Chains A and B, each alone.
Chain A
Amino acid sequence: MRLRTWLVGVFVAGFLVASGPAFASPFQVTVQPIRICNDGGTNCANPSKILFEAEGDKMWAQAGIDLLFLPWNTLNNTAYQNLQVGLGGPGTEYNNLWTNAVSNGGSAQTTVLNVWFADLLDNSLGFYGVTNFLGGRQIAIGWQAVAAYNSPIGRIDTIAHEIGHSLGLIHTVGDPADNLMTQGGPRTPALTIGDVNPDGLKLDKLTAAQIAIADASPYAVPVPEPATLSLVGLGLAGLLRRARKRR
């Protein structure tokens, strides 16, 4: 019986280690997407619910971060469809939106990033996205601007870029065209996932320093590694044996 218990534990541990690739990203960033619709709940921004998740995952894989998008929420508010951002201070629509995040469809969990998709930010096709402050978790995207860039594909790195600000990254000094965190004007986004670093044109790069900052963010939640899980497995095996013995 004792031998069987240990064999079960070893098997569980071995399985978890062997399934290592399933846990390749040591960190996970969870995102709550929210579409802003009109008061009647129609004419929602981002009608196809595009998140550029595969592209964002590849960009953030450079930092060992996997993006987890929660199911969509909806906010019915015509006034916010063309979201006034301005200087972002109190009294602006953007400020009102994120300071009342939960009642506006956002997650209350402090480790979850909220991303609202409006039609436009400040009525501008040049305004792609904004984060409330460095390290903040409230993001707004101007979907018509994102979609208009290289239409019909869209600007595939804006969401990943704003997530970078939430993870504590400022705009890259020197404005290198091929860095994910370079400010909007000088940055050259990848047009397809095939040109995201380390492939193709090697665009949307992250430096080692940027990776270190992002990985230290409270929003980059560590994913348990196989070694840790194997210990849990051994413990469960022991409990299983005890339960059998009671019977």
Chain B
Amino acid sequence: MSTRTTHGAGRLAIVIAGLLVACTGKSAENPAPTPQVAMDQDRITLPPLQRETASLSGTYAFIVAAEDRWQSARASGELLRVAGTRRTSAWKTSLPEQFGPRFVLLNEGGNVLLVDEWVNIVTRHALVLFDATGRERAHHTFDDIQTATGVPGSTIVQMARYGAWLTSVPALDEGGETATFTVGGRTLSISLADGHLSVIR
């Protein structure tokens, strides 16, 4: 091959390389901004500064409140005994859940079950049970729930409709002794007496 041909091959390679790069390019112009409020956000709705749950007969009430008007994610929980118009505090404590729990279940014995966190999160506070004196009787994590169901964690999240793991809203039975909920296609129950977790089906 002659010198001239080699030089031409080199130039041709550069041209071809340049064309290949140019052909894979895309228009980098921004679309014209619209005057509408078409923003795209990553945002959650914060809970009210105070939420209250009552037992079936109204004997007890449980209040979840922002500790500092949501300047932080800290919430407090307070159990009240209700007698007519008189409300007496039984106990009050800071809660571990970010912005408080997602659900609160309260039975006639003053046992309080806090379910999940307000934010969607693979949580360390999936189920937290307090008795009427404010003593923590049980504390189950997402991993505990996953172990109990035997369902892979990724499947649990994929099927979740409330938070990161629940596929149903938890509900108390008629006697208020047991709460049931569905997770990853399984139905679980937790005793409000001692926090024991079991799979129903």
Contact = CB atoms under 8 A, between A and B. Distances in A.
Interface string B11-43: 111101100110011111111011111111111
Contact of A125 (B39, B41, B73): B73
B85 interface: no
A235 B20 contact: no
Contacts of A203: 154, 157
Contacts of A177: 120, 157-158, 160, 163-164
- State the main secondary structure of chain A at its contact with B: loop
A15 interface: no
A148 B40 contact: no
- State the main secondary structure of chain B at its contact with A: loop
Contacts, number: 183
* Size category of the binding interface on chain B: 35 or more
A162 B40 contact: yes
Nearest to A224: B21
B135 interface: no
* Size category of the binding interface on chain A: 35 or more
Contacts of A221: 25-26, 28
Interface string A210-222: 0000001111111
Given A177-B160, A201-B157, A235-B10, A187 B120 contact: yes
A133 B33 contact: yes
A185 B46 contact: no
B45 A188 contact: no
B10 A242 contact: yes
A158 B42 contact: yes
Interface in A167-188: 170-171, 176-178, 183-188
Contact of A127 (B30, B40, B43, B157): B43
A130 to B, nearest CB: 5
A137 B10 contact: no
Interface of A: 2, 5, 85, 87-90, 99, 110-111, 124-137, 148-151, 158, 161-162, 165, 170-171, 176-178, 183-189, 191, 195, 200-203, 216-222, 224, 228-229, 231-232, 234-239, 241-242, 245
Given A125-B70, A191-B122, 5 more contacts: A149-B121, A218-B29, A228-B20, A234-B9, A234-B10
27 contacts: A88-B38, A89-B37, A130-B40, A130-B42, A133-B31, A133-B39, A149-B119, A158-B42, A170-B40, A171-B40, A177-B158, A177-B163, A178-B154, A183-B42, A189-B120, A191-B122, A201-B122, A202-B158, A222-B24, A228-B21, A229-B17, A231-B13, A231-B16, A234-B9, A235-B11, A235-B13, A239-B14
